[in-house]
Structure 1
């Protein structure tokens, strides 16, 4: 299989790591990993075999994964900057249009790219996207209560989730709390971590820290969905408490298509591989 690895300049002083794979003449598909600050490695390992008919572009977003580190300054890590990188990348590759496949935080980038440049968005596929960060903060707070053996209570969605997170993470490591939301079982967590640890890719937490300084936990993308002209194909694992059921609104407000994967968490290809493969195939065809 064709594979070209490159570091692409997308802005002044900013390069990103890119794996350009598959038939060059095939339909281009940009894969956007979660995070912030993650890597596309786990997505390629997890779903790459399902995408053999496409020209798949695996990007490590700026400052994360195998992309060069950037100064830890908030202006380098804004949603605008991350999305502008995608436009620069498409122009560098000479592609008139592409399909975007975003997972988790990457789903937010895919949505915003499609909202700004619908003319170059042939398709939009979202897997367990994160779009409402105050809601996610409330979920993390409730998870921290459960992990400490305290009664889980309904938490009003705050305007700014930072205070809830400070309380949640004062008692527990953030990863432990996130894992409570993302994985339906210890087996699926270990299977995913085995893939990630085998990559020897050391992710950076700088993008996440800088986005927090930029107000990430106050950000709710929901109002912007009304401007979207590309109906998304949304795939949700029903046991992913970091996006389900909140992300159903993405399909509801845009006229998009929703596919639920029962028994799956944030990484549905790990928990329900056959069902997810069918859902992804249908979404890409749609």
Structure 2
């Protein structure tokens, strides 16, 4: 690898991407961290679990096109799974890297699997934290059910009014999310509200926001064949880390992925919801490092 520790701006497929490298002196197979969202960033991860991983591994963060500290693409619809896969491959070429481990969280886990399918030879091991299958109705149903378990009586009443309408599931799901305020979203994503508060402080400190453009574009242009139907082709060693109380992507999704990946292991975090890397950070880091050694 020709790059050392530090932050970089690399032009990849006509979009300037933000990169950060940490732990290069470890000289391990690089561990590329793939963030979620879609449309998220690494600001929290690089201040929590990330530095602990970098004590032992060479860690590479990059933020996807139009996300975080990377530039917006030339067009609002210049997002697709195939483009994100191509960006990843071209990024590694620029960095002079032939083989990587990947750690994808939430949507980043889904993208990691898509990359492994497209470029099997460049992926060594895969770590998935609370992975999603965003084009599956199972995720929409999981999230709706998740809100049912934590909503106030007033919220549940309004939610039932939405669900009783004769609308497609995706429209109902969008309306349910529109009802949720920040406090409810924190309860949805986290078991421990002190951790939720810390997470939200970092979100605010970062000044980075999710524009929603990637999510919208990806839903307008989904893969021709659902990822769920292609997972069986992935033979890489894979570790799945999922919170027992995950209301966002849920154990059901992790179990689907585990069932389809012949060389995978699922580890459940008893005290976590969607972010075991924050709620059970020490265990998360230990499990990841043990797997990668």
TM category (shorter chain) comes to 0.7 to 0.9
TM-score, normalised to structure 2, is 0.84
Could you say what secondary structure the match of 2:127 adopts? strand
Pairs aligned (count): 275
Q: Residue 199 of structure 1 is aligned with which of 185, 206, 227? A: 206
1:243-265 residue CA offsets vs partner (Å, 9 max, x unmatched): 22121221221120111111112
Q: Structure 2 stretches of 5 or more lacking a match?
A: none
1:151-206 residue CA offsets vs partner (Å, 9 max, x unmatched): 899x9xxxx74222233145335x56644432113222112112222223344322
| CA 219–171 in structure 1, closer or farther in 2 if over 3 Å, else same | farther
Structure 1 residues 19-28 or 52-61, which shifts more? 19-28
Q: Structure 1 stretches of 5 or more lacking a match?
A: none
Q: How does 1:64-103 map to 2 (within 5 A)?
A: 64-74=67-77, 76-103=78-105
Q: CA RMSD in A?
A: 2.5
Q: Tell me how far apart the structure 1 counterparts of residues 184 and 137 of structure 2 sit (CA, whole Å).
A: 16
| CA 43–109 in structure 1, closer or farther in 2 if over 3 Å, else same | same
Aligned to 1:19: 20
- Cα drift, residue 70 of structure 1: 2.3
Q: Tell me how far apart the structure 2 counterparts of residues 179 and 81 of structure 1 sit (CA, whole Å).
A: 31
1:216-270 residue CA offsets vs partner (Å, 9 max, x unmatched): 9x98521111111213111111111222212122122112011111111211132
Aligned to 2:62: 59
Q: Tell me how far apart the structure 2 counterparts of residues 244 and 202 of structure 1 sit (CA, whole Å).
A: 24
Aligned to 1:224: 230
Aligned to 1:110: 112
Aligned to 1:31: 33
TM-score, normalised to structure 1, is 0.86
Q: Tell me how far apart the structure 2 counterparts of residues 91 and 139 of structure 1 sit (CA, whole Å).
A: 38
Aligned to 2:271: 263
